[in-house]
Structure 1
Amino acid sequence: MTSTGGLSAKTRERLQQELDALRQQRESLAPRLGEDPLGDSADQADLLERAESVSKLDRRIAEITDLLHGGPTAEQNEGLLPSGTRVTLKFEDGDTEDLFVVGFTAEADDELSSLTADSPLGRAIAGHAKGDTITYRTPGGQVSAEIVELTPPE
């Protein structure tokens, strides 16, 4: 059985699309790197710039490949909230916040407030249910919140 790497299907799809685009960019730059620079120093500077671009692409390609093929397994995530969990918290000051649990920051959606499963807040929520009050440590001190809603991923 192949590990899904602990990533949600949406994140895997987004990463795969990014990986495909990066590989195309790299393919368009790489053949020109082997060209013999016969021109002036400006041509050589252009060649160095392309080499740096390819190097950056290679690093990101490797990072995404590692995420897709070697992310945390289900066993490593035992005891943590699963990615895709939605939680609504009511804080001591009366403010409420809707959050989306992600396995790691690259999985976060810009449109939603996210927290990682292994963050202090994520760990505080794990094992609790709707109606429970949790406490967790922040740089500013202890914070308490009530779990108003807790919806696991579908």
Structure 2
Amino acid sequence: MTQPTEQGTVWLTQEAFDKLEAELANLKGPMRQEVIARISAARDEGDLKENGGYHAARDEQGKLEGRIRQLEDIIRRAQVGETPADDGVVEPGMKVTYRFVGDDETTTFLLGAREIDDDELEVFSPQSPLGSAIIGSSKGDTVSYTAPNGKELKVEIVDAVPYAG
């Protein structure tokens, strides 16, 4: 697997890329037509100033179009890669468990694109301060990085395994 070469690159597995493309197709097709039909039906009811259904449908249309633009941008910047090797080396596509040095509590997250829909795991971008600091490190390594608040933090990599979805 190749590493992202520019800040804007979004690393995705083929499965995640396919999910985003399917969502985009659904939003641009059936969902867009459904919202347009609701706007049209609400417009036919008359006075638009007092028409709550019309305004709600227009708001929904704005959100839908925003998500479409977001997905198109992600897909345009996507770098589709193989699932990483299970060698304990941190790279995009890995489920990483770490702990702050001096703390017993561990945290697990996915190093990848925030757009990957996983309700159980927080997702960190490889370009985030923590993500960029730990790429290439291995299980057992201790890594320092500067948090957004300017504080220098040290973390120990407890585990790194390929994300299974």
Same fold (TM over 0.5): yes
Q: Taking structure 2 as the reference length, what is the TM-score of the superposition?
A: 0.66
Q: Is the 8 A contact 1:85 1:101 kept in 2?
A: yes
CA shift for structure 1 position 125: 0.7
1:14 aligns with 19
- With over 3 angstroms needed to count, the CA separation of the structure-2 counterparts of 1:87 and 1:27, relative to structure 1, is same
CA shift for structure 1 position 99: 2.2
2:123 matches 1:114: yes
CA RMSD after TM alignment: 3.2
- With over 3 angstroms needed to count, the CA separation of the structure-2 counterparts of 1:117 and 1:34, relative to structure 1, is same
2:103 matches 1:99: no
Q: Is the 8 A contact 1:83 1:153 kept in 2?
A: no
Matches of 1:39 and 1:101 in 2, distance apart?
Answer: 49
Q: Is the 8 A contact 1:7 1:71 kept in 2?
A: no
Give the unaligned 5+ runs of structure 1: 75-80
The one-character-per-residue Cα deviations of 1:2-37 (angstroms, maximum 9, x if unpaired) are xxx632233223323432442312112325656795
Deviates more, 1:59-68 or 1:119-128: 59-68
**Rg (Cα) greater in structure:** 1
2:146 matches 1:141: no
2:74 matches 1:67: yes
Q: Is the 8 A contact 1:108 1:114 kept in 2?
A: no
Matches of 1:36 and 1:114 in 2, distance apart?
Answer: 39
Count of aligned positions: 143
Matches of 2:104 and 2:110 in 1, distance apart?
Answer: 20
Q: Is the 8 A contact 2:91 2:136 kept in 1?
A: no
